[in-house]
Amino acid sequence: MNVRQTTVWRALNTALHDAMREDERVFVMGEDITKWGTGGGIYGVTRKLVDEFGEERVRATPISEEAIVAAGVGAAMLGLRPVVELMYSDFTLLAMDGIVNQAAKAHYMFGGQFSVPMVLRTNGGAGIGKAGQHSQSLETLFAHIPGLEVVLPTTADDAYGLLRASIKTENPTIFLEHKALYTTKGPVTGEILPLGVPAVRRTGTDVTVVGTQQGVLRSLAAAERLSDAGVSAEVVDLRGLYPLDLDPVFDSVRRTRRLAVVHEACGPYGFGGEIVSRVVEACWSELDEAPVRVTAARSPIPYSEVLENAVVPQVDDVVRAVLALVGDRHAVSGA
């Protein structure tokens, strides 16, 4: 593929087309993915797949997340490579036995006789007014489960390259897209990216800001604001929670000597605590300040845009947290 500008949803769609052309074992299944003319589900990611590959490899399912995931696990154990779509990550809670007790544990429980190369594609996060039951950030929950891989693409290039890699891995993978980023556009190289490798989105010298998805984009916007005040922020995108090589984060913190972690999930028991803990363990003597977390409040996500913005961390919240880390000598207008 030549480098081209495209949206996240189109990059995902292209990744599915390419994976299915390359490997006949790959098939997709989910609710409403063959309906509405050319198909595509509610965000268009499976658009036109049924036109090329037919209903044997593009399977419309009943409205039962438990049954969808269970069928995917069984198909994967028998040698296929299913890509299971659930409309929202909130609905994974209806299928947790299949995800946690079956997909994650089958390789171990059967002594390595079976693998479960299943990708569960879904979306999480807030920002488009979907309210409390369609806006949760559940990535930490899945990262806590041994046997699962958890991928969090931010850019269109990530969407393509990380989905291709997730389909190739032998492990069950929770591929969590962000519903507010589907229409964001960026360059796509067509390269298959390694899982678990963070990306430095902006270099800086005064503070390391670590995040995922919308948290990364808001951190980049905050870094622009901070630069006007003479604060140089380095922004690191984790791109997933497991596997995860934190060496790029450690290297960054050893240079900047400060850390802020940004995520949309509520703060208590969120993945920010894990990042902070591991940075403190690895870089204790090189930290000038205690790391901080910039997270959502411990609250359901409200439907109201004003209340949603108050609960989920915004650009101003990141700016204020970083200013507190670097000291009172800096000020940003409007922060």
Q: How far, in Å, CA of 97 to CA of 105, rounded?
A: 11
DSSP state, residue 192: P
Q: Which residues contact 115 (CB under 8 A, 6 or more apart)?
A: 76, 77, 106, 107, 170, 171
Q: Please say if 65 is a catalytic residue.
A: yes
DSSP state, residue 72: H
Q: Which of 85, 107, 134, 264 is catalytic?
A: 134
Q: Please say if 264 is a catalytic residue.
A: no
Q: Tokens 């962000």 map to which residue?
A: 178
DSSP state, residue 123: E
Q: What is the DSSP string of 38-52?
A: T--TTTTTTTTHHHH
Q: How far, in Å, CA of 68 to CA of 82, rounded?
A: 11
Closest CA to 95 of 108, 84, 106, 111: 84
CB 122 within 8 A of CB 177: yes
Q: Tokens 């922020």 map to which residue?
A: 233
Q: Which of 31, 65, 177, 264 is catalytic?
A: 65
Q: Which amino acid does the sequence have at 51?
A: D
Residue 82: strand pairing partners: 27
Positions annotated as catalytic residues are 65, 134
